Amino acid sequence: MTISIGEGCGYFLPGTDIQMNNMMGESFLLLKGFHSWPPNQRLQSMMTPTMMVDHQKNLVFAGGSGGAGRIPYMIAKVLDGILTKKQSLLEATVAPRVYVDNNLTHVENGYKGEIPNHLKKHHWADKSLFCGGVHSIYRNEHGEFEACGDSLRYGVSTVF
């Protein structure tokens, strides 16, 4: 379950402590600008969790992050780490991140991948909330569960 108020709108549902979300923090979903949103239609969202199943349709990964348009990139980075690079879930979660937004590449300290020279670069001195904070659970190839709460967003985890 994911709860987010995005930008928030200041309106609370009467009789509850639930604030409505205006969903306007995800401008990349409206390529023609905020005023292109059709009336009476719910705006799509990049909210997570993301879930992955194996060939037998068993759930093997569930993960989420804050970060609006950066969410799919940060989740994909963790999945790439565990599936392609054979990292543990913790290793994949704490590895330095990179995010390309138009011609600007955001790079966390310690990132070792190549970045094309034609892109402008913003180097973060350390890990940054800008690059998300992935919290996830993964059942590895041995059938063991791994959990990781990203410390960037005060996440903690435990596996029983």
Is residue 35 located within the same domain as residue 54?
no
pLDDT at position 2 is 47
| Residues 41 and 54 occupy one common structural domain | no
| Secondary structure class of 139 (helix, strand, coil) | strand
Specify if 158 maps to a domain: no
pLDDT at 136: 93
Task: Supply 149's token pair.
Answer: 């709460």
pLDDT tens across the length of the chain (160 residues): 345 555 666 778 899 877 776 655 566 677 787 778 778 876 666 666 889 999 999 999 999 887 777 888 889 999 999 999 999 999 999 999 888 887 889 999 888 888 888 889 999 988 887 888 899 999 998 999 999 988 877 777 777 6
Instruction: Looking at the structure, tell me whether residues 69 and 98 fall in a common domain.
Output: yes
Give me the pLDDT at residue 93, please: 93
Q: Do 63 and 139 fall into the same domain? A: yes
Q: Are residues 31 and 82 both part of a single domain?
A: no
Summarised one tens digit per residue, pLDDT across range 33-58 is 777 877 887 666 666 688 999 999 99
Q: Are residues 97 and 28 in the same domain?
A: no
| Tokens 């990349």 -> residue | 28
The total domain count for the chain is: 2
- Kindly report the pTM of this predicted structure: 0.75
87 located within any domain: yes
Same domain, 13 and 31: yes
pLDDT value, residue 65? 85
Alpha-carbon distance 75 to 37, whole Å?
Answer: 27
Q: What pLDDT sits at residue 1?
A: 39
What is the C-alpha separation between 16 and 38, in angstroms, rounded? 29
pLDDT value for 137: 94
Q: Does 39 lie in the same domain as 20?
A: yes
Residues 120 and 41 both lie in one domain: no
Would you say residue 159 lies in a domain? no
**26 with 103, same domain?**
no
Residue 117's domain is classified under what CATH number?
3.60.20.40
Q: Domain containing 16: what range?
A: 1-45
Contacts of 28 (CB under 8 A, 6+ apart): 68, 69
Query: 54 and 121: one domain?
Result: yes
Residues 112 and 36 in one domain: no
Is 5 domain-assigned? Answer: yes
